[in-house]
Chains A and B, each alone.
Chain A
């Protein structure tokens, strides 16, 4: 990196917060000039103003434009719902939808399950923090790197040859079973990809749930024990209900991640062997096939699928806020 690049970096890193600070200080200075009665009405808008501008520019406008594009042909002519009917009758899209459902259920379910399990178990051992850091570590890796790592884990050599993939080595050396082509074999390749994704993100749900677990007052558990409840009953009747709001937040985050699954599939199989997902189809329609309309239609389908999750998430958020 030469000096001018370094300078640009410093200016950007320091300049952005400084600009924001100046905006706040500067506008506040202007608001003070206004008559007292109006000040209170103007101030909130000035505070949310930048966020509104950014959301409008980078979220609302692209969304509306995507809706428009999804009705256009490749040459830009209006073709109504043709893109939608084409996309929904495409067998590879149907497979992608099926896989997204698999991801939704298994990725969310497993990441949550192991997250809770690890949070609860780690809570009871003295070396908790080291266990948690170890499991959280993959979070520092991008999904792309996760995919590359697991590609090596899943490497396949024919039976009889020396296995170079970790998993197949274990399978053949310790269980004396046939090696499997984990990412190729349609019987389990989707599960193999989801397993890699769960490995990458289980730390996220563990850490957040663990924090929530620490927030449960010890007296409650004591009281339950005094009343003669077993540990499992305590977990089911006391801990779980108190964890539920946090579980809901983690679950919705994971659901959204499952819907936009892309990197792992792109790197590990490129959507071959029936592992395609909607986000990857969308990418291919746009950049490989040059079909913005169809890509837009797929984006709309994804958006429609995300909306219920978002609504639920917002309701949950409001309910939690209301209780405070």
Chain B
């Protein structure tokens, strides 16, 4: 009897003790993971882009002793929204785009950066347009740390030379070149649309570049603002123009099945086989990183270079779609403030620029920091573009953007369904901008 009793008291005591220990350890982990200071960062990069980001923050970690915990996901919209709604957002996050950023800012989830960053200094170092894209109602809620130029047609100059192909000046010239390549027995283009939860986006780039170059910036603006219907002739024509390539047998290596099942990062690789399976690949400036990753022996300039996606309508010659990675702060900590400040500096951005695949929005990053002539050329094109518009998809509300990506996939699998695909996008447009 005594034994049972003392056992009982013993276990009660044990439990009380364990509860006390639990309480202590919870208290401890709240105060910053056991003394070590960390910043959590969530963004979309994986693979070598992730490595570049980590290289970029390494000097920061060494200097400040703050640890940067990076997490990457291609389903950024969903993961970020979940974390924010659960009340456990990362301190800093790469934002899916200005459209989503504005939604977070209006919901009061983002911390304004006006007092975090030295905005006067930022205005000296960044072009006004880049700063404006990060603003909501005149307040700075986010800042670009890296930019990209879209609508670049990559090609292997040696292959072009061997066959005597000329760089096309207009879209029609490019279509004529396509026919020539086709009759020579190869595919003109390589396209890969697979990208996890964002599958379809590389095709959406084609369409938005064509809208801008064909119908002009006014239509483009109205379109992403939700005031231009998808079924309107201007937008429909852009899809049909793209259809001349993707809906045309023999124009794209492997046909639609290959386009739909190939990861965007691998899509350019058949250009570099011997003999080449395709001759051109339309993708943003960051693609160089994937080329080199997939084929270590390639040299920028010798093995790959680019020409601008030719103008469809000469009236809007030199129009470019640009994009970039916006960063915002969800939780205000000293460590996070230091990191975001650091990420805007020319020193930090020069690290990624040197590694390749990134263009800095910061004017203080010297052109000599670019690893090769090609990226220098891109950096220059970006600052001197006559008509520049930010990625329309990134400016649309989430629901519209993901429907846009899905529409690309549906169109490539079934080009005959264009009208019903666009009608469906109209339906979503009527709903998503409310």
Q: Is the pair A21, B15 in contact by a Cβ cutoff of 8 Å?
A: yes
Kindly supply a per-residue 1/0 record for chain A positions 270-311, scoring 1 wherever the CB is within 8 Å of any chain B CB and 0 otherwise: 101100000000011001111100000000000000000000
Does residue B387 face the partner (Cβ distance < 8 Å to A)? no
Nearest-Cβ distance from residue B334 to partner chain A, whole angstroms: 20
Does residue B267 face the partner (Cβ distance < 8 Å to A)? no
Q: Is the pair B398, A4 in contact by a Cβ cutoff of 8 Å?
A: no
Q: Which of B75-83, B120-128, B313-321, B373-381 contacts A (4 or more CB under 8 A)?
A: B75-83
Knowing A3-B34, A7-B25, the reply to whether A291 touches B399 (Cβ < 8 A) is yes
Closest A residue to B28 using CB positions: A4
B 192-241 contacts with A by CB, 8 A: 196-197, 199-200
Knowing A29-B8, A158-B255, the reply to whether A273 touches B197 (Cβ < 8 A) is no
Does residue A39 face the partner (Cβ distance < 8 Å to B)? no
Q: Is the pair A156, B28 in contact by a Cβ cutoff of 8 Å?
A: no
Q: How many angstroms from the CA of A8 to the CA of B33 in the assembled complex?
A: 11
Q: How many angstroms from the CA of A2 to the CA of B36 in the assembled complex?
A: 10
Q: How many angstroms from the CA of A5 to the CA of B255 in the assembled complex?
A: 51
Q: Is the pair A270, B260 in contact by a Cβ cutoff of 8 Å?
A: no
Q: Is the pair A184, B398 in contact by a Cβ cutoff of 8 Å?
A: no
Kindly supply a per-residue 1/0 record for chain B positions 14-31, scoring 1 wherever the CB is within 8 Å of any chain A CB and 0 otherwise: 111011011001101100
Q: How many angstroms from the CA of A19 to the CA of B406 in the assembled complex?
A: 50
Size bin of chain B's contact surface: 35 or more
Kindly supply a per-residue 1/0 record for chain A positions 169-188, scoring 1 wherever the CB is within 8 Å of any chain B CB and 0 otherwise: 00000000000110111100
Q: How many angstroms from the CA of A184 to the CA of B262 in the assembled complex?
A: 10
Q: How many angstroms from the CA of A289 to the CA of B103 in the assembled complex?
A: 12
Q: How many angstroms from the CA of A184 to the CA of B255 in the assembled complex?
A: 12
Knowing A289-B402, A290-B398, the reply to whether A184 touches B257 (Cβ < 8 A) is yes
Report B-chain residues with C-beta under 8 Å of the C-beta of A25. 8, 11-12
Q: Is the pair B77, A288 in contact by a Cβ cutoff of 8 Å?
A: yes
Report B-chain residues with C-beta under 8 Å of the C-beta of A287. 77-79, 81-82
Does residue B409 face the partner (Cβ distance < 8 Å to A)? yes
Nearest-Cβ distance from residue B431 to partner chain A, whole angstroms: 9
B 62-82 contacts with A by CB, 8 A: 77-79, 81-82
Closest B residue to A21 using CB positions: B11
Q: How many angstroms from the CA of A180 to the CA of B255 in the assembled complex?
A: 12
Size bin of chain A's contact surface: 35 or more
Nearest-Cβ distance from residue B150 to partner chain A, whole angstroms: 22
Q: Is the pair B11, A283 in contact by a Cβ cutoff of 8 Å?
A: no
Closest A residue to B21 using CB positions: A11
Q: Is the pair B197, A181 in contact by a Cβ cutoff of 8 Å?
A: no
Q: Is the pair B399, A290 in contact by a Cβ cutoff of 8 Å?
A: yes
Report A-chain residues with C-beta under 8 Å of the C-beta of B28. 4
A 149-194 contacts with B by CB, 8 A: 155-158, 161, 180-181, 183-186
With beta carbons under 8 angstroms apart, the residue of A155, A156, A288 that contacts B78 is A288
Knowing A156-B257, A181-B261, the reply to whether A284 touches B413 (Cβ < 8 A) is no
Q: Is the pair A270, B196 in contact by a Cβ cutoff of 8 Å?
A: yes
Q: Is the pair A157, B254 in contact by a Cβ cutoff of 8 Å?
A: yes
Q: Is the pair A156, B199 in contact by a Cβ cutoff of 8 Å?
A: no
Knowing A4-B28, A270-B197, A288-B78, the reply to whether A11 touches B399 (Cβ < 8 A) is no
Does residue A18 face the partner (Cβ distance < 8 Å to B)? yes
Knowing A8-B25, A15-B22, the reply to whether A22 touches B78 (Cβ < 8 A) is no
Kindly supply a per-residue 1/0 record for chain A positions 5-19, scoring 1 wherever the CB is within 8 Å of any chain B CB and 0 otherwise: 101100110110011
Q: Is the pair A19, B77 in contact by a Cβ cutoff of 8 Å?
A: no
Q: Is the pair A184, B260 in contact by a Cβ cutoff of 8 Å?
A: yes
With beta carbons under 8 angstroms apart, the residue of A2, A4, A91, A155 that contacts B261 is A155
Closest A residue to B26 using CB positions: A8
Report A-chain residues with C-beta under 8 Å of the C-beta of B406. 272
Does residue A98 face the partner (Cβ distance < 8 Å to B)? no
Report A-chain residues with C-beta under 8 Å of the C-beta of B14. 18, 22
Nearest-Cβ distance from residue A82 to partner chain B, whole angstroms: 11
Q: How many angstroms from the CA of A180 to the CA of B261 in the assembled complex?
A: 11
Report A-chain residues with C-beta under 8 Å of the C-beta of B19. 15, 19
Does residue B258 face the partner (Cβ distance < 8 Å to A)? yes
Report B-chain residues with C-beta under 8 Å of the C-beta of A8. 25-26, 29
Does residue B141 face the partner (Cβ distance < 8 Å to A)? no
B 26-48 contacts with A by CB, 8 A: 26, 28-29, 33-34, 36
Q: Is the pair B78, A283 in contact by a Cβ cutoff of 8 Å?
A: yes
Q: How many angstroms from the CA of A270 to the CA of B25 in the assembled complex?
A: 40
Does residue B272 face the partner (Cβ distance < 8 Å to A)? no
Does residue A266 face the partner (Cβ distance < 8 Å to B)? yes
Nearest-Cβ distance from residue B405 to partner chain A, whole angstroms: 9
Knowing A18-B15, A157-B254, the reply to whether A273 touches B8 (Cβ < 8 A) is no
Closest A residue to B100 using CB positions: A290
Q: Is the pair A156, B77 in contact by a Cβ cutoff of 8 Å?
A: no
Nearest-Cβ distance from residue A73 to partner chain B, whole angstroms: 9
Report A-chain residues with C-beta under 8 Å of the C-beta of B258. 156-158, 181
Closest B residue to A183 using CB positions: B261
Q: Is the pair B399, A2 in contact by a Cβ cutoff of 8 Å?
A: no
15 A-B contacts, Cβ less than 8 Å apart? Answer: A3-B34, A4-B28, A5-B34, A8-B25, A12-B22, A18-B14, A22-B14, A22-B16, A157-B254, A181-B260, A184-B256, A184-B257, A284-B78, A289-B399, A290-B398
On B, residues with C-beta under 8 Å from A are 8, 11-12, 14-16, 18-19, 21-22, 25-26, 28-29, 33-34, 36, 77-79, 81-82, 103, 196-197, 199-200, 253-258, 260-261, 277, 398-399, 402, 406, 409-410, 413, 424, 432, 434
A-B residue pairs, 6 tightest by C-beta: A22-B15, A181-B257, A4-B34, A287-B78, A158-B254, A289-B399
